[in-house]
Structure 1
């Protein structure tokens, strides 16, 4: 529509021409805000007539135009959120991709956050939003690349005011419309040309976090350990269904830059519970949508996610140790060492700087890798971006002996470790040791969490889904149980600490479970 927009008004026998959609939205937004501030119940008939015709000129109406039109409808019936949800979803029926339909839901999630409706009614609406997100997430990924590669219009910031005017109270409009994300995400949304896919990830993260908080609010008399199990299962299942990298990255950044934006919904103790659930769901599970060609090629698309995941893994380890839960700390260490993060970071760095300039981490631990990446940043590589100073502070306050403690505990701790066996295609739990050991529960992951992870399957195209949604011939993700004193595990980590990585471009992968069983 670069040539302009021509809107025909048959009843008036005339037509209106606008140089661009952006100019139309800027002018309409200014007039709308002036009308709303001048009268509590302004006449918006002309706006509706204009935008209803504008929308008909597009086979797939732009997000900004749909937002403005739906805001007019919502202004007349501010309590009818379900109708607004239906209206927004109707406008995206022709969109072949997931990002735009998800991004359109931002006003609905915001209004649910600010709503004074009974909690049960809000919960029902949030569930409806999450169900819609699940449906949209099943759309082909290829359509997302082609259809939603566009950017938000430069006037998007003005349009945000249309939806935030009811709850602004002199606050930043972006804080009102996006109340459940951090400042970093809001700054990205404020940039001209922010991507629709990023906005979609923000919306999914807010809906996910709002539902998680409502679940915490809605329980009474349930033991905290049982509640954490249930929330963990729900979080893992939801993340695996959404399969959204932007959403995953937004959640990670919330943890990288504390506190979580839930202080108006939860007590301090409940915020800690939610943070622990997020640590488990984001660190201890190997999600298929974070694996694939990007990891093998080690391009920069996954770098922010893997770096953030590395940072929060160290935070989670230190948090568990501060609480005296060494088994939980060991589970985070093992999850990192057996993930594809070390391999990806090593390959990415080799592509950027060449193997001669790299050096090596002293161990395959989160702290050692962070120190190595900070050293690379000092040499000129851009790794952490604007988070660099915060990463340095984390390392400065971290125990200088942590690397030694990591190695020592890998050799002497009685804690059981687990990781997702990405090579096996058989379902089951394997244990090392005698029958008595097989009866002992894993200290680092309770049965409920294992059930959640085992309910995820690997389909033929490599996408893990919930068990009831998977194909019959899909292989189940398998947790493999090892004792920390097993010689094969100990030898691997001790050799890694002594010799560093096997080459300048790769990190040596741990042995498979078959190899470990042969050497046990």
Structure 2
């Protein structure tokens, strides 16, 4: 970001004002914008001419303009032509053309995704614009990673403290009563919004949130457009689309945001889908995030300083696997539960977590978990917390307290886990009966309760809001003119999945007539 003072002219005031930094200019301009909009006799009637002149000059002084300045200028332009989302997308993509990395161009799209969510356009037009956004995202994600002169990532920047004021500017059209972050990031979920409100949030994280919102919005539109399609067939088609799209984005922040959405069920789609449809989308995400070991996440279990960001992702995968297993069991689908357990046990997650813990404590300091099942691995990690290894950060003591509470509540106490055999079960060919070594009824029930207890405890793992800037009104609620290239499936693990799922697609209306067909042709 720019340093030093900024002098700007305000012709109507007959004076030139000096601002000590871009930060102060943005704060004062955002305050003036909100005051002008509030005082206007009608929506869109505010006179913003001075702001246009000022920020046109400010932006012209940057070869790669700061995200916050671009957001404010685009808000001025959009205020003059409300609902012209095609022009807004073109404007933001033009400003991002000179950016060396992918994060800032993606982060800039947040207002477009928000406006699409709040838009009253026809479904066809909305779908076309969402497809354009996803195509643009795929272009940005295909860029080679850029580095600055000191070797750091070109996307390693953080948002200015004035970012919150820019959020207010973009949210004022839709609500002045709700938290601005809820308005601008309607599909992000409470966890992601808390992270965005922190001082010094990274541009990369904002980009991941925007990608996850666009991805989830497209899934919701596909569900809305699939009236009359059998649920089982619809789930298969949506899963194929999801599994094909995730590796195109190949973004760890995006993957982590999707995981956190599942950790905090229900998904933030209540204004778009019914409760039954929300369950359908959640099942699609379970299949997409658990059953496929994506190469951009799978690092072969290597553990080093550069991969430290993978720890929260792998812990989240562990937790949502338990969630998915328990939900499948509640529905009586033991085959699906076993699929999740097998996929997790053979994935890179157990080896990574074991190696990570070994690096923390030293080789040979403790025995390895008795199995690679999610139940066994989570119990092992909780035991490590008791031995002083900080696995779950500030949430460790709460998790252990919750597990003890669940043990007492269910009347099992210290009987919950007796031996290694209690953590294994065999799904009979009929798919109906679960068998364990030992007593057939009591131990099976104990094993089920163990999984539920660990899942319930770990599911509520949330980032402690240290350093969060509290903002007024922020509670815990929860044929296009722009055309980009088609998606392209690169990930070999996805091709394996699609090969195994051959014949699952029925060609129903859930498939987009342009991009989805093109994606299939590209395979």
* Cα offset, 1:96, TM superposition: 1.5
What does the per-residue CA deviation read over 1:377-405, in whole Å, with 9 as the maximum and x for residues that have no partner?
Answer: 23333322355436864796599479756
8 Å CA contact 1:8–1:53 kept in 2: the answer is no
The residue aligned with 1:319 is 327
The 1:275–1:303 alpha-carbon spacing in structure 2 relative to 1, beyond 3 Å, is same
> Structure 2 matches for 1:303-342, cutoff 5 A?
303-342=311-350
- The Cα of 1:328 is off from its aligned counterpart by 1.0
Q: Secondary structure at the match of 2:426?
A: helix
Matched, 1:163 2:170: yes
Distance 1:197 1:152 in 2: 10
| Greater RCO structure (CA 8 Å; 6+ sep) | 2
Paired with 2:313 and 2:355, the residues of 1 have a C-alpha distance of 15
Q: Take 1:12 and 1:407, find their aligned partners in 2: how far apart are those partners?
A: 76
Assess if the C-alpha contact under 8 Å between 1:371 and 1:395 holds in 2: no
CA contact under 8 A between 2:12 and 2:50: conserved in structure 1? no
Gap change, CA 1:363 and 1:293, over 3 Å in 2: closer
| Residue from 66, 73, 79 that aligns with 2:70 | 66
Residue number in structure 2 paired with 1:109 = 113
Is 2:286 the counterpart of 1:269?
A: no
Alpha-carbon contact 1:4-1:19 (below 8 Å) kept: yes
Structure 2 vs 1, CA of residues 272 and 405 (structure 1 numbering), >3 Å: closer, same or farther? farther
Matches within 5 A, 1:20-169: 20-39=21-40, 40=42, 41-143=45-147, 146-169=153-176
Contact 2:237-2:505 at 8 Å conserved across structures = no
Q: Name the stretch that deviates more: 123-132 or 139-148.
A: 139-148
Partners in 1 of 2:157 and 2:232 — Cα distance?
44
Q: Displacement, 1:14?
A: 8.3
Are 1:317 and 1:329, in contact at CA under 8 Å, matched by a contact in 2? yes
SS in 2 for 1:227: helix
Q: Structure 1 residues 196, 310: CA separation in 2 closer, same or farther (over 3 Å shift)?
A: same
TM-fit CA distance, 1:146: 2.5
CA gap 1:356/1:137 in 2 versus in 1, 3 angstroms: same
The CA deviation at 1:7 is 4.6
Question: Distance between the aligned counterparts of 2:48 and 2:123, measured in 1?
Answer: 32
Distance in structure 2 (CA, Å) of the matches to 1:17 and 1:338: 61
The corresponding residue for 1:344 is: 352
Q: 2:424 is paired with a residue of what secondary structure?
A: helix
Taking the aligned partners of 2:247 and 2:503, their CA distance within structure 1 comes to 16
| Structure 1 residue runs without a partner (length 5+) | 416-423, 430-441, 452-465, 471-520
How much does 1:10 deviate?
A: 11
Q: Is this contact kept in 1: 2:322–2:375, CA < 8 A?
A: yes
**Residues 277, 55 of structure 1: alpha-carbon distance in 2 compared, 3 angstrom cutoff:** same
Contact 1:123 1:211 in 2 (8 A): yes
Cα offsets for 1:460-508 (capped at 9, x unmatched): xxxxxx78668xxxxxxxxxxxxxxxxxxxxxxxxxxxxxxxxxxxxxx
Instruction: Note if 1:229 corresponds to 2:246.
Output: no
In structure 1, C-alpha distance between the alignment counterparts of 2:190 and 2:379, rounded to whole Å:
26
1:409 aligns with 2:413: no
Q: Which residue of 2 aligns with 1:485?
A: none
Structure 2 unaligned blocks of 5 or more: 411-415, 432-491, 507-518
Q: What root-mean-square deviation, in Å, do the aligned CA atoms of Structure 1 and Structure 2 show?
A: 3.0
How many residues end up aligned between the 2 structures? 432
Change in 2 beyond 3 A, CA 1:31/1:310: same
TM-fit CA distance, 1:160: 0.5
How many Å separate the matches in 2 of 1:60 and 1:203? 20
Tell me if structure 2 keeps the 8 A contact 1:349–1:358. no
State the SS of the aligned residue for 1:37: helix
Whether 1:245 and 2:252 are equivalent positions in the alignment is: yes
SS at match of 1:308: helix
Question: Does the aligned pair in 1 maintain the 2:102–2:140 contact within 8 Å?
Answer: yes
* 1:182-224 per-position Cα deviation (integer Å, ceiling 9, x unaligned): 2111111001110000000000000000010010011111111
Query: 8 Å contact 1:374–1:392 — kept in the other structure?
Result: no
**Closer/same/farther in 2, CA of residues 450 and 77 from structure 1, 3 Å limit:** closer
C-alpha distance after superposition, 1:98-148 (max 9, x if no partner): 100000000110111111111221111111111110111101124495221
Deviations 1:245-281 (A, max 9, x none): 0000000001111111011111111011000000000
Provide Cα deviations, 1:20-53, integer angstroms capped at 9, x if missing partner.
1101001101111111111131110000000000
Could you tell me whether the CA contact under 8 Å between 1:150 and 1:195 is conserved in 2? Answer: yes
Q: Is the 8 A contact 2:318 2:378 kept in 1?
A: yes
Does 2:221 align with 1:214?
yes
Specify the SS of the correspondent of 1:23.
Answer: helix
User: Does the 8 Å contact 1:200/1:247 carry over to 2?
Assistant: yes
Distance 1:126-1:143 versus aligned 2 partners, 3 A rule: farther
Indicate how the Cα distance of structure 1 residues 344 and 294 shifts in structure 2: closer, same or farther if over 3 A, else same. Answer: closer
Give matches, 1:298-447, under 5 Å: 299-385=307-393, 388=396, 389=398, 393=402, 397=406, 400=416, 404=421, 407-409=424-426, 446-447=501-502
- TM-score w.r.t. length of structure 1: 0.77
- Structure 1 stretch 320-329 or stretch 95-104: which is displaced more? 320-329
